[in-house]
Amino acid sequence: MEKFYTWNKGIFDSNYQIFEAGQIQSTMFFDTWRNEAKVMAKQTSYLFRNDGFLNPTTQIYNDKSEIIGTITYDTWKTKGIILLKSGEQFTCDFVNIWHSKWTVTNFSDKQINYDSSTSQGTVMANTDDELMLFAGFYVREYFTKVLMAIIIMVIFFPIIMRSC
């Protein structure tokens, strides 16, 4: 059962709208200042919340405020490991250097392939696992923020050092 989704977001906005067959299926709202995202889906809602700064992990909560999974990050390899309370484990990994293509897979029977441009993209999935779909978007957004922080440091660090 192959599923095809499209998604869009604003260029400077981190909120995603996910569509299937032209109909909106879910929305993912990011709160930059709190390092969290809320998902409103057809079946349920989720909350992704980061804990920590230098070595963060993300807790995933269901609509009953129960932790149902965690995401840990390997920043050097730009990879996320998603471990669900059920014991299921997924890996979110970027396929190209531009981070416009990435996959979430359990290396067994579930795989989701993402393709993006700046503010829109497509998703091909062989599963209807909503949580897996949203975790892929969350990991992408996490590494986008890391990349932006590095760019800001590269630009502003020399300016600050000159003024000292």
Instruction: List all residues 6 or more positions away from 164 whose beta carbon is below 8 Å from its beta carbon.
Output: none
Q: With left for phi above 0 and alpha for psi between -120 and 50, is residue 22 left, alpha or beta?
A: left
Q: Which domains does the chain show, CATH number per domain?
A: 3-163 (2.40.160.200)
Judged by DSSP in three states, 1 sits in coil
Judged by DSSP in three states, 101 sits in strand
pLDDT of residue 1: 75
Q: Is the dihedral of CA 132, 137, 138, 139 positive or negative?
A: positive
Which residue type does 59 have?
A: Q
- d(CA 122, CA 144) in angstroms, rounded, equals 18
- d(CA 26, CA 104) in angstroms, rounded, equals 18
The number of CA neighbours under 13 Å toward the Cβ of 97 is 0
Q: Are 58 and 50 in contact (CB under 8 A)?
A: yes
pLDDT of residue 77: 84
pLDDT of residue 164: 66
Q: pLDDT tens track of the chain, all 164 residues?
A: 799 999 999 877 779 999 999 999 999 999 877 789 999 998 799 999 998 776 789 999 999 999 999 999 998 888 999 999 999 999 999 999 888 999 999 999 999 999 998 889 999 999 989 999 999 999 998 888 887 888 888 888 777 777 76
pLDDT of residue 148: 80
